[in-house]
Homo-oligomer: A and B are copies of this chain.
Amino acid sequence: MATPGTDVRGHTAVTDLDLYERMLLIRRAEERLIVACTDGSLPGGVHLYIGEEAVAVGACAVMTDDDFVTSTHRGHGHFLAKGGDLDAMFAEIWGRATGICKGMGGSMHVADVSKGILGANGIVGAGFAIATGAAWGAKLAGQGRVATCFFGDGAANQGSFMESMNVSAAWDLPTVFVCEDNGVSEFTVTSTVSGGPLVERARAFMPATVVDGNDVHAVRDAVGEAVERARAGGGPSYVEATTYRIRGHLEAEQHMLGGGTYRTDDDIAAWQADDKDPIARLATRLLAEGTCPREDLDAIDAAVRNRVEAAVAFAEASPPADPELAHTIMFGPA
């Protein structure tokens, strides 16, 4: 929706309104998934990104379709922020033939290789190595591409994190590690299973910084610096974005908790407040700066909601996945 250009810092310029719209698209799309999940429209579960939109949107604002990203089990935000098509994503989540992966992957596996989206991934930590391999390819090709690995604070305990930082550092690869530190890994408070601050692990290998992950500008600027360094041959960087997951680990997690809890409602409410929520924060700022009036923001929201409903309609009107594909794709050309 946004028209890319180049800003003073040399990266593709995305306006604040673009950032706003992109975050909102992710938010509204996922809010709609909550409904779909509840009403039984979806074959499988969904892990929602609500509350963390500023990370994907801020980071992807400094990338082009030629750059690679690897995503997580919580991948809708990265997919949309990197330019993935909402219709194709919804159709995928609905298990339809028109899905971006033809219904073979589902929510946890949305990928659009043509846009450098190497896929959401159900294996926690899998993206480290894939991004590092892609970054190596990018470096070999010599066209200034970068590969960004999005991963969670829980994933940062997987050894492949260190292995991939090591390879990226030793070989000066254009890898950007973006940690989405939402403080939890499923139902475990990550600090209870982690030794020391994550950023220190990265510092042993590369420039590493921690930013407010709910401030889309802060994320964009930090990742922007990392991406520029990588494009210029300066090797890998690490950006840790502090954020919060508003929804459960997956929708309907309460069925899996057996009455237990791992965080309080107050915590959640605090992160949902206007001074924390990434979208509300940007709105407040845009209004304060006078960049645009409330009506414009409302109009964007209305347009986004329409876009989302259109995607639902597209998905629901689409034919089911073709079961034969499992054979023909899997055993396609040798």
Contacts and interface: CB of A to CB of B under 8 A. Distances in A.
Contacts of A201: 162, 201, 204-205
Contact of A158 (B163, B193, B203): B163
Contacts of A185: none
Contacts of A157: 163, 166
A326 interface: no
A168 B195 CA distance: 8
A41 interface: no
The secondary structure that dominates the A interface is helix
Copies in the complex: 2
A170 B156 CA distance: 13
Interface string A191-219: 01111110011011110000000000000
A196 B192 contact: no
Given A159-B159, A162-B161, A192 B170 contact: yes
A159 B170 contact: no
A203 B202 CA distance: 11
Contacts of A204: 195-197, 200-201, 203-204
Contacts of A203: 200, 204
A280 interface: no
Nearest to A205: B195
Contacts of A252: none
Interface string A139-178: 0000000000000000001111111011111100000000
A189 to B, nearest CB: 12
Nearest to A172: B195
A192 B170 CA distance: 7
Contact of A159 (B160, B192, B196): B160
Nearest to A168: B195
A203 B200 CA distance: 8
Contacts of A161: 159, 162
Identify which of A157, A163, A166, A169 gathers the most chain B CB atoms within 10 Å of its CB: A166
A167 B161 CA distance: 15
A319 B170 CA distance: 50
A205 B197 CA distance: 8
Interface of A: 157-163, 165-170, 192-197, 200-201, 203-206
Given A157-B163, A159-B161, A170-B194, 4 more contacts: A165-B195, A200-B204, A201-B201, A201-B204
